[in-house]
Amino acid sequence: GDSVTQMEGPVTLSEEAFLTINCTYTATGYPSLFWYVQYPGEGLQLLLKATKADDKGSNKGFEATYRKETTSFHLEKGSVQVSDSAVYFCALNGNRDDKIIFGKGTRLHILP
Amino acid sequence: DVKVTQSSRYLVKRTGEKVFLECVQDMDHENMFWYRQDPGLGLRLIYFSYDVKMKEKGDIPEGYSVSREKKERFSLILESASTNQTSMYLCATLPGWQGVYEQYFGPGTRLTVT
């Protein structure tokens, strides 16, 4: 079945460092891919998405490119801030009447 | 903006109690979901509903039931709460299954069963 694997955390970085959180997937067909963010004490909210191969999603300085050849959707940010401290979830929608698949989440700590 | 609200942010119940968690959405979305979130396990789907009075089991339905009598409201019921149901519970909606749509989440209910 479909699955999402993302790097385990926690990830701890200093402010202004470069961030990469890896996400790979397995799916039949042509899924859509998402990154959600969960700030402390809140529910998840969409950070960015890509619906077809080679699409790049971007928001708030974060980017991720849908790479079908490597089945990956890695999240990157060039210069992180303390306010980026949160849990990040990679997710997949297989474009069927079926459940959406989430990775286990990566906790990010940014130190001032 | 889509709004998904959950009846309580924090809840403390005793073992054996019947517990109701309510979720209400204001954007006429067809699909609604209940997840639980636990450290190291991520989000796990309990139940979802694609229409009024329709429900489908997710990955971990045991010990839970759901009710969807109106399109905007999706309730999660713990028939007899147990300590292993202590968790964060998240409700979500989805406008449709096409991949252009994302899920919208409520703020969560942190349930403690003592």
Q: What is the DSSP string of A65-89?
A: E-BTTTTB--EEESS--GGG-EEEE
Contact between A19 and A110 (Cβ < 8 Å):
no
Strand runs labelled E in A15-105: 19-21, 23-26, 32-38, 45-50, 56-59, 62-65, 75-77, 86-93, 101-102
For residue B3 the two structure tokens come to 């709004």
**Inter-chain contact B42–A103, Cβ cutoff 8 Å?**
yes
- Report chain A's mean pLDDT, rounded to a whole number: 93
**Measured between beta carbons, which residues in chain B are less than 8 angstroms from residue A31?**
99
In angstroms, rounded to a whole number, what is the distance separating the alpha carbons of residues B28 and B15?
35
Mean pLDDT of B21-48: 94
Q: What is the pLDDT of residue A92?
A: 92
**Inter-chain contact B97–A97, Cβ cutoff 8 Å?**
yes
pLDDT(A97) > 70: no
Q: In which residue are the tokens 């300590």 written?
A: B83
**Inter-chain contact B43–A89, Cβ cutoff 8 Å?**
yes
Cα distances (Å, whole numbers) of residue A88 to A61, A81, B1, B28, B86: 14, 15, 22, 27, 22
Distance from CA of B81 to the nearest CA of A (A): 23
**Measured between beta carbons, which residues in chain A are less than 8 angstroms from residue B50?**
97
In angstroms, rounded to a whole number, what is the distance separating the alpha carbons of residues A78 and A80?
7
The secondary structure of B55-108, three-state, reads CEECCCCCCEEEEEEECCEEEEEECCCCHHHCEEEEEEEECCCCCCCCCEECCC
pLDDT tens digits, one per residue of A58-94: 999 999 999 999 999 999 999 999 999 999 999 998 8
Which letter, b or e, does each residue of B98-109 get, where b requires 16 or more Cβ atoms within 10 Å of its Cβ?
A: ebebbbbbbebb
pLDDT(B46) > 80: yes
Q: What is the pLDDT of residue B97?
A: 73
Q: What is the pLDDT of residue A41?
A: 87
Q: Residue B25 corresponds to which amino acid? A: Q
Question: Does residue B32 sit at the A interface (CB-CB below 8 Å)?
Answer: no
Mean pLDDT of B78-100: 91
Q: What is the pLDDT of residue A104?
A: 94
**Measured between beta carbons, which residues in chain A are less than 8 angstroms from residue B23?**
none
Contact between A50 and A33 (Cβ < 8 Å):
yes
pLDDT(B38) > 70: yes
Q: What is the pLDDT of residue A30?
A: 84
In angstroms, rounded to a whole number, what is the distance separating the alpha carbons of residues A110 and A12?
6
pLDDT(B64) > 90: yes
Q: How many CB atoms lie within 10 A of CB B33?
A: 25
Pairing of strands A106-111, A86-93: antiparallel
Mean pLDDT of B20-48: 94
